[in-house]
Amino acid sequence: MNTTKPSNSHREQNLAGQVAIISGGLGDIGSAIAIELAGRGADVALGDIRPDADAGPRLEPLKSLGRRCRYDRVDVTDWKQVGRWVEQVEADLGPPTLIIPNAAVVTLAPTCEITPDQWSRDLRVNLDGAFHLAQAAILRLRALQRPGRVVFIGSWAAHAPHTHIPAYCASKAALRMLCKTMALELAEFDILVNEVAPGYVDAGLTGAVWRDHPEQRASGLRIVPVGRLISPAEVAFQVAHLCDPDNRHMTGTSILMDGGLSLTSATTLRKDER
């Protein structure tokens, strides 16, 4: 079966005039989201902690699509940096209307082994960082009386316990509730807040672990009911769906794309499969 996703070339430019801001923008998933949204007409601002030199290969595809784009080094755990980033994006591209908190880290350590610093780092990046970006951009939309879309990049680990990544699971579970509370608060202002919750993505954080432990990739693939892993482009497609201005009623919703993992009892791998 051919699982290649159609290109953007035939799609309507339904995001023309929109500005997307994406944290963790130089990663596999962040970059795929940027290309998808740019292909639909949005200008794009990427943020990450990596050096400016690393941004060139990620910006070129956006420029080739004729979109305005920029890259800023920003630590999402620092709310002041995030606030300045949002201000700089607005001054250059316009106020961000598509807000994608995507930056994340994961510590592979069970509850009895993870250190306080590791625990704190996972929550500060995955939860606090997502909140800082969403809040800073939403405050500007409110001030300008503009509609917008927030799409958090969550995980199926928000509801399925994984004993080897407890801090990651906790941070994503909290992120899901943040999504719901923000969605309820902001619905009246036409700012819709949702989450895309992938299962096993063959890239990004999971992909990095699998590169070091290829046997885990095989184990992960074996327990996915559909028999396929997720590509970054597939995650990006769902994000774009939630950003579509014609999508006017979905808010506080999690799009779970885990290939059926949540339908099974295999929510944690045996120690010999991790």
Which residues contact residue 11 at a Cβ distance below 8 angstroms, ignoring those fewer than 6 apart? 39, 40
3-state DSSP assignment of residue 71: strand
pLDDT at 172: 98
Neighbours of 202 (CB within 10 A): 17
Neighbours of 41 (CB within 10 A): 18
User: Position 206: which residue type?
Assistant: T
3-state DSSP assignment of residue 234: helix
pLDDT by residue (tens digit) across 93-109? 999 999 999 999 999 99
- Give the integer Cα–Cα distance in Å for 179 and 126: 13
pLDDT at 265: 62
Model confidence band, residue 11 (pLDDT cutoffs 50, 70, 90) = low
pLDDT by residue (tens digit) across 183-203? 999 999 999 999 999 999 988
In 167-269, the DSSP E strands lie at 191-198, 254-257
Tokens 């990427």 locate to 46
**Number of continuous H segments (helices) and E segments (strands) in the chain:** 9, 7
Residue 5 covered by a domain: no
Residue 3 covered by a domain: no
- Give me the domain span that covers residue 152: 12-273
Residue 2 covered by a domain: no
CATH number at residue 238: 3.40.50.720
Residue 154: is its pLDDT beyond 50? yes
Question: pTM for this one?
Answer: 0.91
Residue 173 covered by a domain: yes
Residue 6 covered by a domain: no
Q: How many domains does the chain divide into?
A: 1
pLDDT by residue (tens digit) across 76-85? 999 999 999 9
3-state DSSP assignment of residue 82: helix
